[in-house]
Amino acid sequence: MSFRERSIPFMPSFISFLNDVVSPDDLLDVQLRDRTQNKDDLINVQGQLDVLNQTLQKIESQPYKMTVSSAPATISGHHGVKPTGTTLTLECKTGNSSIRSMNFADSGLFTWYPGSCHSVSIDISFPDFSTTYKFTGETAWIDFINKFSDGEDELMTKDFSPESRSFLESMGIKSILVRYKLSDTGDLSQAYIEWEQLKQEKDKLENLQISLSNKLLTTHSWEKSGWISRLPGKITICPAVQE
């Protein structure tokens, strides 16, 4: 290497170090820029999540009420065993709503909160036993509404819980016709659609947040190589100064 018409001879060990240890990327600040960008993106994502969480909390704190009216449950055909009543229960974090009917026309008020109600059960009573049909998950109440949108639904024996299914099959019962008439569900259904869209957006942002966090935790080659500590103690031969 020459500088101002003077040659600077490097030690062979330093030349070998440059050729074998240091990669071109190690001498660039690309990774540093990437880390800075990742940090900025992470801050931006957290800001979006904060806004989304506030919106979700507002929606999830809003109760939606609807009236459910029951009618007698029956078994198709002239089966010897007949249901004696039904109990519909909506389970929510804030409390349960239910209606119990001994095969009369009864009605009850149900309160649903988006994202807070994860179980709906229909208990069907017979003279000597009872069976349970369940909906579970965040869509439990929505699934119930969709199933009984026409005021009744034929619940197939194969869709009951294993224990209930065994009882029904032993009695030769293939299905039970259950009747529930629902009041207007328009506002409730719209609230669920809005909540679901926000929840999906939140899930996407949380996945992005995890990805960005993992990138920041990843040790890059220029951090783990420790190449600076491997520099030779002497890298050049100083030329003699000429008077």
Q: Pick left, alpha or beta for residue 181 (phi over 0 → left; psi -120 to 50 → alpha; otherwise beta).
A: beta
> Which of 7-11, 200-204, 219-223 comes out lowest in average pLDDT?
219-223
Choose between 102 and 226: higher pLDDT: 102
User: pLDDT over 90 for what percent of the chain?
Assistant: 55
Indicate whether 96 pLDDT > 80: yes
Answer whether 0.95 is exceeded by the pTM: no
Is the pLDDT confidence value at 181 over 90? yes
**pLDDT of 104:** 87
Q: Residue 182 carries which side chain, given as an amino acid letter?
A: L
Which residue stretches of 98-185 are H helix? 140-147, 162-170
pLDDT tens for each residue of 44-65: 888 899 999 999 999 999 999 9
Q: Which residues pair with 51 in a beta bridge?
A: none
* CA separation for the pair 72, 15 (Å, rounded): 92
What's residue 139's pLDDT? 96
- Environment class of 217 (CB within 10 Å of its CB; exposed 0-12, middle 13-18, buried 19+): exposed
Residue 215's pLDDT band (cuts 50, 70, 90): confident
State whether residue 192 is helix, strand or coil. helix
Select the more confidently predicted residue: 141 or 219: 141
Residue 104 phi, psi (nearest 5): -115, 175
User: Is the predicted pLDDT of residue 218 greater than 90, yes or no?
Assistant: no
Q: Which two tokens stand for residue 27?
A: 């001498």
Which is more confidently placed, 187 or 213? 187
pLDDT at 193 over 60: yes
Q: What's the rounded Cα separation, in Å, for the pair 89 and 98?
A: 4
Per-residue model confidence as pLDDT tens digits over 138-157? 999 999 999 999 999 999 99
Could you tell me the two tokens for 95? 């409390």
| Interacting residues of 86 by C-beta distance below 8 A, sequence separation 6+ | 70, 73, 100, 101, 103, 122, 123, 124, 125, 178
Residue 95 clears pLDDT 90, i.e. is over it: yes
Are the C-beta atoms of 123 and 87 separated by less than 8 Å?
yes
CB 115 within 8 A of CB 138: yes
